[in-house]
Structures are given as C-alpha cells and as structure tokens.
C-alpha cells in the first residue's frame, strides 16, 4: 500500500461506516476533542445493512460468554447518557426470557453469566412461564431465565440520535459517499472515496458492517455475511402481547433453530430466526423474503407462540457479519496502530454500540479501554492481520 502524501485536509481520525457502531464511534471521538471525518455509502439509518428493524434486544445475562456482562453493563449506562444528551427515549424495559432445555446453550450460558456476575434473575419452569406470560408456550422440558432489566432499543432512533450528537460535537459527516480504498503509512492514513475525494488523518476506524471485507484487501480476516429475516405478524388475539405484559424472549428450540420474539410494540409481534441463513454479500443479497422464509417462522410460532401466528404485516432482510467464533472484533488492524477494525458482531452486537463507541475512542486516543475487550482481539485468529503477498 502506498504511503499517504502530504496533506491539506488532515483530520485526527476518519471513520468509515455510520451505522450503529460508526455513529457511536464518531460521536465519542468528536466529543473527546478530536477532529473527525466520517463516511457512509448511504444515508443512515437505512435498511441495507445490519442496524434496522425498529427494535433490538438488550439483555445482561449474556449466554454467549460471561466476559460480555461488564461490557453490556457499561452499555446500559451509556444508553441512559445518550438518551439524556439526545432528549430521546431509546430504551423500553420489557423484561427478558432465555428459554430452552436446562442443558441447552442459551439457558446454561445465561445462568453461567448471571451467576459469575451476580445478575439479578429468576429460573422459571415451563408451567411458571405460562402462568406469568400466557402467550408463551414452552415445551414441558424447557425452563426460562428471567431478567427483569432486559428490553428493547429503537435502532433507527439510536442511530439518528448518535449522528446528531456527533455533528453537534463537531464531526464532519459525508453521507452517500462510499469509500473505495485506503492506505496507511508512517505519516498517517489516506482515504479515497467514489466522488474522487482524497482525505487524510492520523488514524482510521473501519466500522462498515457487512461491507467491511471490501475494505480489507490484503488482510486475512475471516468473515462471512449471512442473510437473516425479520417478520412482523398481527396476533390472532392481541391480549397478552403488550410490552408491559410480554417480555422479549430468546428461544433455544431443541428440535430446530434458535429464534427470538418481541412483544407487540404497535406494529405486530416480531419474530426472527437467529443464524442459519444463507451466506451472501451485501451487493448480491436477495432482499425479498419468500414463502419459505415465512413458513419457517410460522412453524416456530405454531409451537411456541401460537396466538401470534396471525396475518403477516411486514418482513425485512437483515445481514449478520460473522466471525468463526461469533465474538466481536475490536482491535488494531496494523502494527503501527493507525487502523482500528470494529464490529463484525455476528448478529448480537447492536446493544453494545454505546460502549463500543467509548472503547474505540480509548483505542484511538491510546488510552486503556474502560472495560476488558481482550476477547475481541484479532490475534485469536491465525494469520488474521497478515497481508496477502503483493499487496
């Protein structure tokens, strides 16, 4: 890669991607006093990536790994701060249930995190779940881990709020301006965009979600983009689906895929299968849900939430950017620490964005991250930062 030339429009840091992660990062960096320039190929929030869909789950008894719990606790604090700064309600508390067999990944993982970090929770039998939340119908062999603090974030509003706060803090935002390539050298980084612009900075943050692989030419980072579907249905009977009556739920179906359900937030009951989608890329993905996609979620609703299995109201395609172990990446891409690679969150990262913004701002400012992010280092992947020969 060529070394950047001498500069005129030099910034402290350039951010590529302004979805939920990039918008949080741009705000935190600008707030720390740095001169920030940020790019997005589209006008966020939009429906082409990973951070749309009107609602996202936030939960604390984290079945994926106990190391996420301090991180999500910090995210809760920072979402409250973001609400205050933006003057917007971004979070709705509904309570949350992790449902499955006691020895299944979701229940056992949630309990492990809850016990290690003293997360307030209750373990419910299938009968107790049905008594508390009659619209949920787990199998007799299933149990639930209930955490009352869990709930819903509003993704589009979260992005809009963070973008506005970033601009208020002085960040320059360039929308509908795709980044085509970048280079890094001893003098800093150079970024070139589709409009023909060339921009320079001391540091670069790559937070482009499913498009990030297009910006990693020469770097061996193992990522796959997965097509996922979200559906909204009008309940057969609306009783019991209001957010004060029905929690968000993550289901570990012993005979099928994991999936999650939301209460009716005014647009029907939302359901989506978690993983198992077709591997694709953001340029060629089929963005039209078909009858097979719908049939798969209706089969799950018929078993576990039959009262939600009414007429289809809406559907949307979402993209997961997956790592092999389904843990995040938040790390320097290069030995000189000029470039930070952020996210590839494997379908469970949205809730952390407020804390990711803070952690990345610390990395860029050569400060220790406020919480432990060692789980997300690139070094866990063999040859992860190796450039291809000839780059």
Q: CATH number, domain at 342?
A: 3.50.50.60
Domain range for 355 is 10-49+156-220+325-380
Average pLDDT, rounded, for the chain: 94
Q: Which residues of 314-352 are buried (b: 16+ CB within 10 A; e: fewer)?
A: ebbbbbbbbbeeebbbbbbbbeeebbbbbbbbbbbbbbb
Count of domains forming the chain: 2
Residue that terminates a domain, selected from 305, 322, 339 = 322
Residue 75 resides in a domain: no
Which residue from 387, 230, 233, 204 is spatially nearest to 316, judged by alpha carbons? Answer: 230
- Note whether 188 and 250 are same-domain residues: no
In a domain, 87, yes or no: no
Residue 383: the pLDDT is: 52
Tell whether 284 and 250 lie within a shared domain: yes
Same domain assignment for residues 244 and 100: yes
Is there a contact between 49 and 350 (Cβ–Cβ < 8 Å)?
Answer: no
Domain CATH number, residue 306? 3.30.9.10
- Whether residue 385 is contained in a domain is answered as no
* Cα 171 to Cα 180: distance, rounded to the nearest angstrom: 21
At which of 322, 350, 366 does a domain end?
Answer: 322
Q: What is the pLDDT of residues 239-282, one digit of tens each?
A: 999 999 999 999 999 999 999 999 999 999 999 999 999 999 99
Per residue in 207-235, pLDDT tens?
999 999 999 998 999 999 999 999 999 99
| Alpha-carbon distances, residue 36 vs 8, 10, 158 (angstroms) | 15, 10, 20
- Answer yes or no: do 299 and 361 share one domain: no
**pLDDT beyond 80 at 382:** no
Percent of the chain with pLDDT over 90: 93
Is position 67 within any domain? no
User: Is position 388 within any domain?
Assistant: no
What is the torsional sign of CA 162, 167, 171, 177?
Answer: positive
Residue 99 lies in a domain: yes
- Domain shared by 146 and 200, yes or no: no
Residue 88 in domain: no
**pLDDT tens, position by position, 82-120:** 999 999 999 999 999 999 999 999 999 999 999 999 999
**Residue 179 belongs to some domain of the structure:** yes
């Amino acid at each position: 890669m060529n070394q950047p030339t001498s500069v005129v429009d030099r910034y402290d840091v350039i951010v590529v991607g302004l979805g939920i992660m990039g918008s949080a990062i741009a705000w935190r960096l600008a707030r720390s006093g740095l001169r920030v320039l940020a790019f997005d190929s589209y006008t966020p929030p939009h429906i082409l990536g990973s951070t749309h869909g009107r609602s996202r789950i936030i939960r604390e008894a984290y079945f994926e790994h106990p190391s996420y719990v301090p991180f999500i606790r910090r995210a809760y604090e920072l979402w409250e701060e973001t609400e205050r700064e933006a003057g917007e309600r971004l979070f709705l508390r509904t309570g949350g249930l992790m449902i499955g067999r006691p020895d299944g990944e979701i229940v056992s993982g949630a309990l492990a995190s809850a016990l290690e970090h003293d997360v307030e929770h209750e373990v419910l039998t299938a009968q107790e779940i049905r008594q508390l939340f009659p619209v949920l119908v787990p199998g007799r062999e299933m149990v639930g881990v209930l955490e009352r603090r869990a709930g819903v974030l509003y993704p589009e509003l979260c992005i809009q709020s963070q973008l506005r706060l970033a601009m208020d803090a002085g960040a320059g935002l360039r929308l509908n301006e795709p980044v085509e390539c970048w280079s890094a050298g001893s003098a800093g980084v150079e970024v070139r965009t589709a409009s023909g612009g060339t921009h320079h900075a001391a540091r670069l943050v790559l937070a482009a979600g499913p498009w990030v692989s297009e910006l990693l030419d020469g770097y061996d980072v193992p990522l796959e983009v997965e097509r996922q579907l979200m559906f909204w249905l009008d309940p057969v009977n609306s009783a019991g689906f209001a957010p004060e009556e029905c929690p968000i739920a993550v289901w570990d179906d012993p005979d099928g895929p994991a999936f999650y359900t939301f209460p009716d937030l005014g647009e029907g009951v939302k359901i989506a299968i978690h993983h198992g989608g077709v591997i694709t890329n953001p340029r060629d993905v089929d963005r039209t849900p078909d009858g097979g996609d719908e049939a798969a979620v209706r089969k799950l609703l018929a078993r576990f939430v039959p009262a939600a299995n009414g007429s289809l109201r809406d559907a949307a395609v979402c993209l997961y950017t997956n790592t092999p172990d389904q843990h995040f990446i938040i790390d320097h891409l290069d030995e000189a620490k000029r470039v930070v690679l952020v996210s590839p969150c494997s379908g469970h990262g949205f809730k952390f964005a407020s804390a990711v913004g803070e952690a990345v701002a610390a990395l860029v400012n050569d400060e220790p991250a406020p919480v432990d992010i060692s789980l997300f280092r690139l070094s866990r992947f063999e040859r992860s930062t190796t450039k291809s020969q000839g780059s």
